[in-house]
Structure 1
Amino acid sequence: MAFAVLKQPASLREMSYIRRWLVFFSGFLETALWSGTIFGWASLVHILKTQGVFSHLCRDDFQEGWNETLAISLSSDEEAFTIPSAIARGCRAQDERFALIGTVAMVLYSTPGILIGYGLHHLGQAFTRITSSVLISLGFVLLSLTSKETPDYLWGGSIFVSVGGNMIRMSCLEFGNLFPERRNTVMGIVSGIYTLSAAVFMLMQFAFEAGYRWEMICQVMAVGSSLIVFTTLFIPWHHIPNDDYEEAEYGQQLKCLTVDGTKDNSGKLTDVRTNTEVCAGKMKLVTTRKASDSPQIPLRESLFSVSMGLLQFWIFNNMFAITIFGTYFNSWINRFSKNVEEAAYYSRMFGYANILCALATPLPGSIIDALSAYLKKGKKSLDESVANVQATIAPMIFISITITVQISCFLFFSPWAVYVGLFFLIINRPGCLGVGIPFMRARFPANHFNRLIGIQGTLIAVLATLQYPHFTWSQTHYYWAMGLVIFMLSLSVVLPLHLLNKKYLYRTFDRSPYKNKNEEA
């Protein structure tokens, strides 16, 4: 089956079912491999510590957190540890440097979101995806150059992998439009499967421990990420068509057309000789209204709404907690691990947990779709729109509770806390965005989606700069630092609870451009 290179379909109907599945499958793989690689930071830190990256910071430091005494000696002519286990274990200064770089990279993951969102809206899929491919490939090249002698390449490598990963993730979120009846499920899968890419660094750790050269491992990853350019050739070059307004209108027109409508060879309507057609025994006005002619809600009304503010608060709290779980994980397990082998084991378990996140990715969207279908049964017009939004209430409350339990594990220094924390990580990493993004898609107009996602990402990234001062605070006031995060998480339930107010939602959707569509149905 031949696909036109960089073609933009006028509507979803112009994309065959096979092509839709191919587009979804390619987006699924790209998101699973490259979109959130940076969140496997703990595995990357273990590899780099083993190579002695930033080990020079430990020459005057005491090794903290050991359950056994290790001597560190430096020769007079080289700055290298003579005991490999001490290199892997590191010290506080080294941990803080890795935490600083990891924080910067993770903050910059979403900081350019506003630019990416507007880029997707105006420049389209092809531009965003190709730029993403270039950044990710360049990032892995810089990581291949990172070593004990040249540790500062880690800055550029981690930042490029991070920013490029977010670009491919945001571009694939539109793929929910491919299957309108299962939109939340598809969006939940695409928004959640990014967690699987956090295991890429764990796979690189396995390869490194198996004896493969670090440079070669990174170069293979660089080549793999460059294949995004190839898959872009059969994806709509600008955007994935949606059916929220113009598609429903146009589809209804085609059902009502009879002998008075003529079509060209491609099957598109080209001429209508009269403005009225017989439809189900009644005269009905036939229009050729486009999406640009439909009622539009200004972006600022969505951006400054109560729902958007509470969504920002909910996603920030949850993502902040999930991020610090990954960032602090290495230093946390070092506090109670008996030796380097046990710390390496927990690091691998962290990687396994990120792989298992893939099993949980369909659940949030599937649950929302099922709840939405149940709540919409027998309803029409505004009731359907309200039901779509309220279907997210229960999943949001569940995610808020499980993330609170996950971060509470940091209050304990025991193997059981590691297993409990990783179990809830499997649920929460895909669940947070797997619920939050479908809510945004249901609550706000479709043509606001890319820009709202981008603006939201930038704002959350700016707030995420609190991660590093929080890390340094936790070094001296550990329980207070963790207690504050737990308290903020407990306040996150305000978002789902405010959705119980149907009057607020009815007022919101009464001005929606979808109102007329629903009333005609």
Structure 2
Amino acid sequence: MLQCPKGFGVRQMLTLITGMVECLCFAGIVFGWASLVFILKTQGYFGSHCVNSTEIDGSQVLDCSGQDEQLSGVFTAASVMNNFLTLLTGFIFDRFGSFVVRLLGICLYISGTLMLAFSTPALSLLLFPALPLIAVSGRIFLITNIQVANLFGDHRSTIITVLSGSYHSSAVVFLIIKLLYESGIPIKASFLFMAACSIFHVLRTFFLLPRTLIPYPLPQNYTYGFSCGKSSKPEESVNDGTQKTTDQMETAEEEPAKPEKTFRECILSRFFFFCLIWFSVIELRIYLFIGTLNPALHLLTDEDSSLVSQFINAFAFTQLCAVLCSPWNGFIMDRLKRKYRDAGMKGQEAELNSTVVSLFLASFLALLFSISAAIPVLLLQYFTFAMQVLTRAFLQGTLAAFVSVAFPPCHFGKVYGLIVTLASAVSLLQYACFVVVESLLDGDPLYVNIAMAVLVLFSLIHPVSVFLHCRKLASQQTQQVSLEKIQQ
């Protein structure tokens, strides 16, 4: 392991920059599904589900609702497995550290990209394991990169949101593959190249990430990754002293030591329950929109394929903006945290208060996004795309930041994983909603979109709950100060 403290700043930046590249180019590519499904439909994947049907006027038309249903099932499987297996990866991450879980993620990523590369319309069923494998590996890359924020002390929330934004912006990768496909480059070549890029993940795993976990706060002279000389205590402090961030120093000075909550106490808490509701309903709204975007655009454009392609490209380009929007979320939290500290709040209390605004903004943006998606006006979809990006940027970054603040660091992977896993059960409803739209509503998602807008209102419970909890803590602190003055 490295024992070169003087080079630590350079290593920090290399870890952060390569982490952003990893999240931006590989981790969340499954969210660019709308671009990939355009290629798959063009090539005839699940084309056998298209049947001739007779209109009322006697004309013959090709009904491909069965094809849309199969492709929607592929995305549903990917999104559900992306969430469902996060609990397992979270346990592995907390128990064995970065090295083991990343090697697992790399294997899943290679398997998924190779399956996509060698899939054909005759082997359409390969899509069902391929997309989930890519989705799960992407979540692993995100989780192992979130810990990089521990290297940056008081800017921790900003780094978490930057990495989360990069994760969501990676949806643009499928757009690039779509544009290359339209230029004559087959998708097989694109996915073989993606599989070959696994060497990048391997190099980061061995040289720019610790084998275990990055602690918070960092010990003094903490080192990790590639070594210039062997250390007797890898990835630990050189001496017994510790160098804490401003938040941790204030917390240590002002708060008496408290026993950490057990994992069971964490998952039985009010914070966990309301956070689960908040995350589940907003993510269901996002996944349903992405999974049904292609057929919805066909309905709004009267089956104009060129216009559909134009809007899908616009949607994919807006996803790239997530990496620009997410840092503002982290900046808000870090700025509020410093403000509350200056007002006399203790470290953890200030951090918890700083998440309230971001939690509320995520719910508010999700509501605007849901209302916009429910209005069947084609040009309005540009605004819907923008709201969807902002919602995702605030949702994922705030979730990671809140879990890292509200629960003990030793349970981060498990708590984060359990929330995302349980949310996957709710995500299964997206397929049921798609079937209802196709079977009962003649392909018109208006009523389902209205129902989703109402459902998103329930996500406001969580920010209100955290706000009331913070108010209660402030009130107790005021009463304690008053009592101490009386006793004096």
State the TM bucket, normalised to the shorter chain. Answer: 0.7 to 0.9
| Match of residue 174, structure 1, among 147, 169, 174 | 147
Indicate the SS of the match to 2:197.
helix
Post-superposition Cα deviations, 1:424-468, rounded to whole Å, max 9, x if no partner, equal 122112111112221121112211211111111111112211111
Tell me which residue corresponds to 1:19: 11
Give the distance between the partners of 2:305 and 2:456, measured in 1 at CA: 33
Give the distance between the partners of 1:302 and 1:463, measured in 2 at CA: 21
Name structure 2 gaps, 5 residues minimum.
Answer: 222-235, 242-256, 478-488
Q: CA RMSD in A?
A: 2.8
2:54/2:60 contact within 8 Å kept? no
1:14 Cα offset (Å): 9.2
Distance 1:374 1:217, change over 3 A: same
Give the distance between the partners of 1:139 and 1:15, measured in 2 at CA: 37
Tell me which residue corresponds to 1:56: 48
Larger helix proportion of the pair: 2
Indicate the SS of the match to 1:60.
strand
Tell me which residue corresponds to 1:301: 265
Give the distance between the partners of 2:386 and 2:237, measured in 1 at CA: 52
Tell me which residue corresponds to 1:43: 35
Tell me which residue corresponds to 2:170: 197
Tell me which residue corresponds to 2:413: 450
2:287/2:427 contact within 8 Å kept? no
Distance 1:387 1:482, change over 3 A: same
Tell me which residue corresponds to 2:451: 484
Tell me which residue corresponds to 2:466: 499
Give the distance between the partners of 2:240 and 2:390, measured in 1 at CA: 51
1:140/1:161 contact within 8 Å kept? yes
Distance 1:28 1:63, change over 3 A: farther
Indicate the SS of the match to 1:166.
helix
Give the distance between the partners of 1:378 and 1:13, measured in 2 at CA: 35
After TM superposition, list the pairs within 5 Å mapping 1:108-507 onto structure 2.
Answer: 108-234=81-207, 235-243=209-217, 247=219, 268-269=238-239, 295-338=259-302, 339-380=304-345, 383-475=346-438, 476-477=440-441, 478-502=445-469, 506=473
2:158/2:330 contact within 8 Å kept? yes
Give the distance between the partners of 1:296 and 1:303, measured in 2 at CA: 14
Give the distance between the partners of 2:470 and 2:158, measured in 1 at CA: 27
1:28 Cα offset (Å): 1.1
Distance 1:307 1:419, change over 3 A: same
1:386/1:502 contact within 8 Å kept? no
2:113/2:194 contact within 8 Å kept? yes
1:353/1:425 contact within 8 Å kept? no
Give the distance between the partners of 1:242 and 1:398, measured in 2 at CA: 27
2:166/2:322 contact within 8 Å kept? yes
1:311 Cα offset (Å): 0.6
1:386/1:505 contact within 8 Å kept? no
Tell me which residue corresponds to 1:278: none
1:199 Cα offset (Å): 1.2
1:48/1:147 contact within 8 Å kept? no
2:361/2:394 contact within 8 Å kept? no
Structure with the greater alpha carbon radius of gyration: 1
1:40 Cα offset (Å): 1.0
Tell me which residue corresponds to 2:248: none
Indicate the SS of the match to 2:168.
helix
AA of the residue aligned to 1:486: A
Distance 1:173 1:269, change over 3 A: closer
Give the distance between the partners of 2:470 and 2:36, measured in 1 at CA: 49
Question: Scaled by the length of structure 1, what TM-score is found?
Answer: 0.79
Give the distance between the partners of 1:484 and 1:212, measured in 2 at CA: 41
Post-superposition Cα deviations, 1:256-284, rounded to whole Å, max 9, x if no partner, equal xxxxxxxxxx984479xxxxxxxxxxxxx
Post-superposition Cα deviations, 1:36-58, rounded to whole Å, max 9, x if no partner, equal 11111111110001111111111
| Match of residue 33, structure 1, among 25, 33, 40 | 25
1:302/1:308 contact within 8 Å kept? yes
Give the distance between the partners of 1:120 and 1:63, measured in 2 at CA: 55
Give the distance between the partners of 2:362 and 2:48, measured in 1 at CA: 42
1:350 Cα offset (Å): 1.2
Indicate the SS of the match to 2:123.
coil
Indicate the SS of the match to 1:194.
helix
Post-superposition Cα deviations, 1:204-263, rounded to whole Å, max 9, x if no partner, equal 00010000122111101111134201111121111112118xx4xx79xxxxxxxxxxxx
Question: Scaled by the length of structure 2, what TM-score is found?
Answer: 0.84
1:195 Cα offset (Å): 0.7
Q: Percent identity?
A: 22
Indicate the SS of the match to 1:500.
helix
Indicate the SS of the match to 1:99.
helix
2:283/2:427 contact within 8 Å kept? no
1:397 Cα offset (Å): 1.6
Indicate the SS of the match to 1:110.
helix
AA of the residue aligned to 1:487: V
